[in-house]
Amino acid sequence: MKQSTTPLLIRIDERRPLQQQIYAEVRRAILEGVVAPGARLLSSRALADELTVSRTTTLLAYEQLVAEGYLTSHQGSGTFVARELPDDMPGIRVSTAASKTREARISKRGAELAAVPPPGLRVGGPPRPFRLGTPGLDLFPVRLWSKLAHRRLKSATLVQLDYGDARGLPLLREAIAEHVSSARGTRCTADHVIIVAGAQRGVEMICRLVLDPGDRAWTEEPGYPGARSALLAAGADIVPVRVDGDGLDVSYGERRAPDARLAYVTPSHQFPAGVPMSLSRRLALLKWASRARSWVVEDDYDSEFRYGTRAVPCLHGLDVDGCVIYVGSFAKTLFPALRLGFLIVPPGLRETIRAVRRASDVHPPTLDQATLADLMIEGHYQRHLRQMRAAYLERLGALSDALRRFCGDAVRLRPVRTGLHAVADLYGADAVRVHQEAAARGVEATPLSAYFIGRPKDANALVLGFAAIGPESIVKGAEKLAGAIEAARKGGGSGARLNAS
Amino acid sequence: MKQSTTPLLIRIDERRPLQQQIYAEVRRAILEGVVAPGARLLSSRALADELTVSRTTTLLAYEQLVAEGYLTSHQGSGTFVARELPDDMPGIRVSTAASKTREARISKRGAELAAVPPPGLRVGGPPRPFRLGTPGLDLFPVRLWSKLAHRRLKSATLVQLDYGDARGLPLLREAIAEHVSSARGTRCTADHVIIVAGAQRGVEMICRLVLDPGDRAWTEEPGYPGARSALLAAGADIVPVRVDGDGLDVSYGERRAPDARLAYVTPSHQFPAGVPMSLSRRLALLKWASRARSWVVEDDYDSEFRYGTRAVPCLHGLDVDGCVIYVGSFAKTLFPALRLGFLIVPPGLRETIRAVRRASDVHPPTLDQATLADLMIEGHYQRHLRQMRAAYLERLGALSDALRRFCGDAVRLRPVRTGLHAVADLYGADAVRVHQEAAARGVEATPLSAYFIGRPKDANALVLGFAAIGPESIVKGAEKLAGAIEAARKGGGSGARLNAS
């Protein structure tokens, strides 16, 4: 036999995301020195058996830890605690002597916050096929943006260099109100708009304001990990509500948790399943929220990119009772590093947000806000959206063609009406195996099952981003993906069993 | 008699900042419609009598509400609820019908957060004498900054436009570590540095991570309102600890709250009293923190500007036990609207902060960070600090001369060894009256008593910023201030009584 494995005592709370708990527990064991550098861990399969969870769950938790440098994985011989820990680790280990005092000095709330899992597998580095969450940065008009920014910077006034409005720059709030009113089918004025340091910050702030620890919150199942992170950071009790072809199954949610205080939804383009929420479901959701006095957080993250279909009005536009908080992002329409997003909030929340902002980040950088305002007011933003819509349609077409050409019947793309990613159902090969084989080939192909909190259903599929890279790279990526599928098929019967376990 | 006054039922909690509670309660009464637009309120004096608090306290609370547009004040006839409420108010009033549901849907935590008072009297508009918290923006090298920013913007890479490191840009963290090591007498590496969206955000994040609701925290008395806001937002129980000529009185703190989990201090230049903390007090503070397993938050907000004196090492440099969290800001050294600051944290907190950041604001805008890194690496930052030090010394000299010339014996400036503001003791005129008279003349002269949570002591003084305006404006401001003092003296005996009440 090989080197013996180090046992891991992992406590699992059935109601919280399993993969993320396993990730956090293994990482904690490493940080606290429970498992030594170089120690061999249980295989992901054995750990899955021990915890009676799906192997997808343990495998993805291990992969995240490998990606972050906590674990190393050797083909055939197993998974080990890294001997060279990530660059921020030595400091932690140096002060082992003080670790007891240090631990004692972190608050209970701090420990809970520290245990909040990262919002998904973020790989980093230059874009590769088929990365999620990154838009077509290769087509971003860097020269135009830097021209507008330069104009603002060199003419900055004393008032613009000083502290500004905690709700965000009035000029930008007006431009956003106008854009949203014409583009997203809802009415609002600058008074309703609050500029935030990215949509994630907006969601996190809202969760903290409208939820008390222990309050229940609906999330979509499968769903967006960033929202779950924000909810967990707020101490929420997450209730996964299944998604079908019409989006969130509201009546299922009402049966499981009628008293939830918040529902987080992505109605324009469900993340990750890709379906839009039907009008009847939208109305049912609003009816529930109104009756239950709950909040609906509508994350409209990539709704600007629609392909040929007419827009269903956003939830906010249907809301007569002030239940809906709308979250908008510029990370997908412009670039993530800008860290700007916005909220549209009902009057009752505005003063609260203002108070919270003054005690924390005050407002996002003024000159970035001013540059964005100019981009919108001068019509560049609209033009950029039009151009990107065309480019994304081309990229989607390239993906669709290339998958048909290289993968044949092994892959079937679900219809894409909106957004920057597609869901590809797999036939005859297991998605997690394909994901691994693809990673070895430099291709990011995320299994749909990674986005479930509970047991994945109809999830032998990959979530493929088509926005971040050009058509030629997409074609090359599809060819490599075909190779990965082939290898996963040859890998034997294990694959087919994985998701069923 | 005049129009009758509307009674206000104000509940006061002795342990929390009184002025801020009164502000919040009156505002709430207005928002909830308990007092109608146009209603006359009790005079600040009568309210002070009713609540048995100092009139300074009620007066400053009213002034804040007048500044924000909730109240109007008519010389001689009293204080009224504004008929035209602030621009964000109509929305709140329109939806009165839904106010019951809306109230029910805000969480307990949200209501507590909403009640957190604003961090001080922020007036806004172009700089005037003697504004606090605003540096000499008239001397900021706008052209240099925009040149560096433009270079970064137009050459932005795909990786720089995408999501980045949750701890901040490595290049900037290295530049900061190097600067702090040479300029602030402490050693740290880039690994210890975390870039935050302003020092206020840094303090707020730390408070939330190391404190549980109800934990006690020392603040300086008098002290910085921004820190109190952050602590209240974290649910802390604030314990004001008196400041004397050597800074925070550590033994007083140990008697009042030996078990506090955190102490917030400004050792380089106590805000607002202006004294540096003595070395023996620094060592006593660290000894307490180490024994009590508590955290010390060292806010080094304007320490870069020293006038002729040798630097006492910062607390962080004396800390062998990893108790100190250092907070640095670029708001005072560059410009507030940049919204960049940094933390230096012990290893045990780093992973926690990273987890929290990924679930909230992720990281500050990358290109702003890159521009700042270039500024530091290319030596511009150091040069700017040297130039500003000379300019501030000149401005301080102008203030000192002008006060002597126009105000004579009525004003005595306490020694200023560091920073961007001075404390001026008043003789024969009451600081709150002078503040009012000065405001009527377009001069900002904040009473020292405004920064006390409890009963002000040795506080018939004004806190005067000398950084935001040039020497000529300082001279003009001093002349107006002399007029204000004269008017306050003539105003009769009431002044002298105010602070003693």
Task: Please check the confidence at residue A118 and state whether its pLDDT lies above 80.
Answer: no
Chain B residues inside the 8 Å CB shell of A363: 339
Arithmetic mean of pLDDT over chain A: 87
Task: Please check the confidence at residue B103 and state whether its pLDDT lies above 60.
Answer: no
Strands (E), B216-258: 216-221, 237-244, 247-248
Question: How would residue B384 be classed by pLDDT, with cut points 50, 70 and 90?
Answer: very high
- Closest B-chain CA to A340: B365
Pairwise CA distance, residues A324 & A262, whole Å: 10
Pairwise CA distance, residues A241 & A243, whole Å: 7
Q: What mean pLDDT is predicted for residues A135-159?
A: 96
- Closest B-chain CA to A225: B359
Higher per-residue pLDDT: A378 or A84: A378
Give the one of B213, B215, B366 whose C-beta lies nearest to A337's C-beta: B366
Query: How far off is chain B from A114, nearest CA to CA, in Å?
Result: 4
Give the one of B98, B110, B359 whose C-beta lies nearest to A210's C-beta: B110
Task: Please check the confidence at residue A349 and state whether its pLDDT lies above 90.
Answer: no
Q: Report the DSSP pairing between strands A216-221 and A237-244.
A: parallel
Question: How would residue A104 be classed by pLDDT, with cut points 50, 70 and 90?
Answer: very low
Pairwise CA distance, residues B253 & B411, whole Å: 32
- Closest A-chain CA to B200: A360
Q: What mean pLDDT is predicted for residues A63-69?
A: 75
Query: What ipTM was predicted for this assembly?
Result: 0.82
Query: How far off is chain B from A365, nearest CA to CA, in Å?
Result: 5
Query: How far off is chain B from A155, nearest CA to CA, in Å?
Result: 8
Q: Report the DSSP pairing between strands A262-265 and A295-299.
A: parallel
Is A291 within 8 Å of chain B by CB? no
Higher per-residue pLDDT: B353 or B495: B353
Selected for mutation to probe chain B from A89, A137, A159, A163 (highest B CB count within 10 Å) is A163
- Closest A-chain CA to B206: A110
Structural contact between residues A431 and A322, judged by C-beta atoms closer than 8 angstroms: no
Question: How would residue A3 be classed by pLDDT, with cut points 50, 70 and 90?
Answer: low
- Closest B-chain CA to A169: B337
CB spacing of A213 vs B321 below 8 angstroms: no
Among candidate residues A356, A341, A342, A499, the one with its CA nearest the CA of residue A430:
A499
Higher per-residue pLDDT: B246 or A457: B246
Lowest mean pLDDT among B261-270, B309-318, B465-474: B309-318
Longest dimension (CA), chain A: 72
Structure tokens at B223: 């002290």
Amino acid occupying residue A240: P
For tokens 């939208």, the residue is A282
Question: How would residue A309 be classed by pLDDT, with cut points 50, 70 and 90?
Answer: low
Is B94 within 8 Å of chain A by CB? yes
Task: Please check the confidence at residue A98 and state whether its pLDDT lies above 50.
Answer: no
Q: What mean pLDDT is predicted for residues B77-96?
A: 55
- Closest A-chain CA to B351: A114
The confidence score (pLDDT) of residue A495 equals: 40
Arithmetic mean of pLDDT over chain B: 87
Task: Please check the confidence at residue B64 and state whether its pLDDT lies above 60.
Answer: yes
- pLDDT by residue (tens digit) across A80-94? 888 776 543 333 333
Sheet holding A295-299, edge to edge: A193-196, A341-344, A324-329, A295-299, A262-265, A216-221, A237-244, A247-248
A-contacting residues in B 222-241 (Cβ below 8 Å): 226, 229-230, 232-233
Lowest mean pLDDT among A487-496, B74-83, B146-155: A487-496
Chain A residues inside the 8 Å CB shell of B357: none
Give the one of A145, A204, A368 whose C-beta lies nearest to B365's C-beta: A368
Cis peptide before A140 (omega within 30 of 0): no
Q: What mean pLDDT is predicted for residues B165-175?
A: 96
| Cross-strand bridge partners of residue B446 | B463
The confidence score (pLDDT) of residue B499 equals: 33
Q: What mean pLDDT is predicted for residues B89-110?
A: 48
Query: How far off is chain B from A209, nearest CA to CA, in Å?
Result: 4
- pLDDT by residue (tens digit) across A190-201? 999 999 999 999
CB spacing of A88 vs B162 below 8 angstroms: no
Lowest mean pLDDT among A99-108, A120-129, B297-306: A99-108
The confidence score (pLDDT) of residue A37 equals: 79
- Indicate the pTM of the whole model: 0.83
Higher per-residue pLDDT: A277 or A103: A277
Alpha carbon of B455 to those of A171, B19, B42, B55: distances in Å? 42, 11, 22, 11
Query: How far off is chain B from A2, nearest CA to CA, in Å?
Result: 33
Is A215 within 8 Å of chain B by CB? yes
Query: How far off is chain B from A99, nearest CA to CA, in Å?
Result: 8
The confidence score (pLDDT) of residue B2 equals: 45
A-contacting residues in B 295-314 (Cβ below 8 Å): 295
CB spacing of A134 vs B321 below 8 angstroms: no
- Closest B-chain CA to A110: B209
Geometric angle at alpha carbon A172, from A168 and A178, rounded to 5°: 125
Chain B residues inside the 8 Å CB shell of A297: none
Is B348 within 8 Å of chain A by CB? yes
Q: What mean pLDDT is predicted for residues A196-213?
A: 95
Give phi and psi for B77, each to the nearest 5.
-105, -15
The confidence score (pLDDT) of residue B89 equals: 38
Pairwise CA distance, residues A386 & A217, whole Å: 36
The confidence score (pLDDT) of residue A443 equals: 96
- Closest A-chain CA to B158: A137
A-contacting residues in B 442-461 (Cβ below 8 Å): none
Q: What mean pLDDT is predicted for residues B255-283?
A: 95
Task: Please check the confidence at residue A327 and state whether its pLDDT lies above 60.
Answer: yes
Pairwise CA distance, residues A94 & A98, whole Å: 9
Question: How would residue B350 be classed by pLDDT, with cut points 50, 70 and 90?
Answer: confident
Chain A residues inside the 8 Å CB shell of B204: 359-361
Is A104 within 8 Å of chain B by CB? yes
For tokens 């040929």, the residue is A308
- Closest A-chain CA to B114: A352
Selected for mutation to probe chain A from B151, B154, B161, B295 (highest A CB count within 10 Å) is B161
Task: Please check the confidence at residue B345 and state whether its pLDDT lies above 90.
Answer: yes
The confidence score (pLDDT) of residue A311 equals: 66
B-contacting residues in A 169-208 (Cβ below 8 Å): 191-192, 197-198, 200-201, 204-205, 208
Query: For residues B115-133, b (16+ Cβ closer than 10 Å) or e, as one string?
Result: bbbbbbbbeeeebbbbbbb
Give the one of B94, B191, B337 whose C-beta lies nearest to A160's C-beta: B337
Is B209 within 8 Å of chain A by CB? yes
Question: How would residue A362 be classed by pLDDT, with cut points 50, 70 and 90?
Answer: very high
CB spacing of A114 vs B355 below 8 angstroms: yes
CB spacing of A359 vs B200 below 8 angstroms: yes
- pLDDT by residue (tens digit) across B190-218? 999 999 999 999 999 999 999 999 999 99
Task: Please check the confidence at residue A95 and state whether its pLDDT lies above 50.
Answer: no
The confidence score (pLDDT) of residue A76 equals: 72
Pairwise CA distance, residues B344 & B340, whole Å: 14
Selected for mutation to probe chain B from A30, A105, A123, A366 (highest B CB count within 10 Å) is A105
Pairwise CA distance, residues A101 & A93, whole Å: 14
Structural contact between residues B229 and A358, judged by C-beta atoms closer than 8 angstroms: yes
Higher per-residue pLDDT: A183 or B427: B427
- What SS3 string covers B100-135? HHHHHHCCHHHHHHHCCCCCCCCCCCCCCCECCCCC
Selected for mutation to probe chain B from A334, A339, A350, A371 (highest B CB count within 10 Å) is A339
Give the one of B88, B116, B145 whose C-beta lies nearest to A359's C-beta: B116
Alpha carbon of B173 to those of A404, B151, B155, B370, B374: distances in Å? 47, 20, 21, 10, 12
Q: Give percent of chain B above pLDDT 70.
A: 88
Question: How would residue A125 be classed by pLDDT, with cut points 50, 70 and 90?
Answer: confident
Q: What mean pLDDT is predicted for residues B128-153?
A: 96
The confidence score (pLDDT) of residue B49 equals: 80
Pairwise CA distance, residues A105 & B260, whole Å: 11
- Closest A-chain CA to B120: A358
Structure tokens at A283: 């109305």
The confidence score (pLDDT) of residue B86 equals: 57
Burial of B453 (0-12, 13-18, 19+ CB in 10 A): buried
Lowest mean pLDDT among A330-334, A439-443, B29-33, B53-57: B29-33
**DSSP sequence for B449-491:** GGG-SS--SS--EEEEE-SSS-HHHHHHHHHHHHHHHHHHHHT
Higher per-residue pLDDT: B75 or B460: B460
Residue B137 DSSP symbol = G
Q: Report the DSSP pairing between strands A324-329 and A341-344.
A: antiparallel
Query: How far off is chain B from A58, nearest CA to CA, in Å?
Result: 20
Is A428 within 8 Å of chain B by CB? no
Chain B residues inside the 8 Å CB shell of A172: none
